[in-house]
Amino acid sequence: MEPIDILTYMGIAMAGCALVLAFVVLVNFARRIIPSLKIITTPTIKLPKIPKIKKKKSKPKRRTGTMSKDTASEGITFNDIFMFMIAVPLVLLWVGFAGFVIHTGLNNSAVLENIEAYTTLIAILGGPALLIIKDALDVWKQEQAEKTAFYKVKAQAVIDYNDAAQKQAQMIEANDQSHEHGKKVKK
């Protein structure tokens, strides 16, 4: 199989991915506009109710390791499905196709004759892929800013705690000394 054929098949695969992306976006848009429209439905099965078993009382669990009820009940959103089914493969396909065109173009002069078509396809896929990458970097920057702010607050809390502990230790020592000498400390 020649590199031109492989590139052609990869181009067809990318066009198919673009069509799937367009279909998913249109379906989601239609669902938001017409709430009663249900294109993809899942059958519902009614299961018999299971009787509840009384639990023994146990020690209360620590709250530090648990998520809130709101966070735990969010579930999978359309954006999660979009990212894992469309965005991630699109970016990987774009990078892979661009690398393959460069590698094949360096080794085969026939690819260089059709390089405009391949660069056009790379550019078409590169637009959405770059937007996805930019959004991912923006989310990462926001997470880093939140971590930095958290550590600043935490460091200030440690400083305040150490200062209060030192003042308390000094006050206890001063009270012990005044008690020992029979003097009263004015508050």
| Number of other CB atoms surrounding residue 74 within 10 Å | 9
CB-hemisphere CA count at 13 Å for 10? Answer: 22
Give the mean pLDDT of the chain. Answer: 76
Best-predicted range by mean pLDDT among 2-6, 19-23, 44-48, 129-133? 129-133
Q: Is the pLDDT confidence value at 157 over 90?
A: yes
The DSSP secondary structure of 2-35, one letter per residue, reads: -HHHHHHHHHHHHHHHHHHHHHHHHHHHHHHH-T
Q: What is the pLDDT of residue 185?
A: 45
Q: Is the pLDDT confidence value at 69 over 60?
A: no
Angstrom distance (rounded) from CA 17 to CA 1: 23
| Number of other CB atoms surrounding residue 73 within 10 Å | 8
* Phi and psi based region of residue 31 (left: phi greater than 0; alpha: psi -120 to 50; beta: remaining): alpha
Q: CB–CB of 7/118 below 8 Å?
A: yes
pTM reported for the whole predicted model: 0.42
Lowest-pLDDT range of 101-105, 150-154, 169-173: 101-105
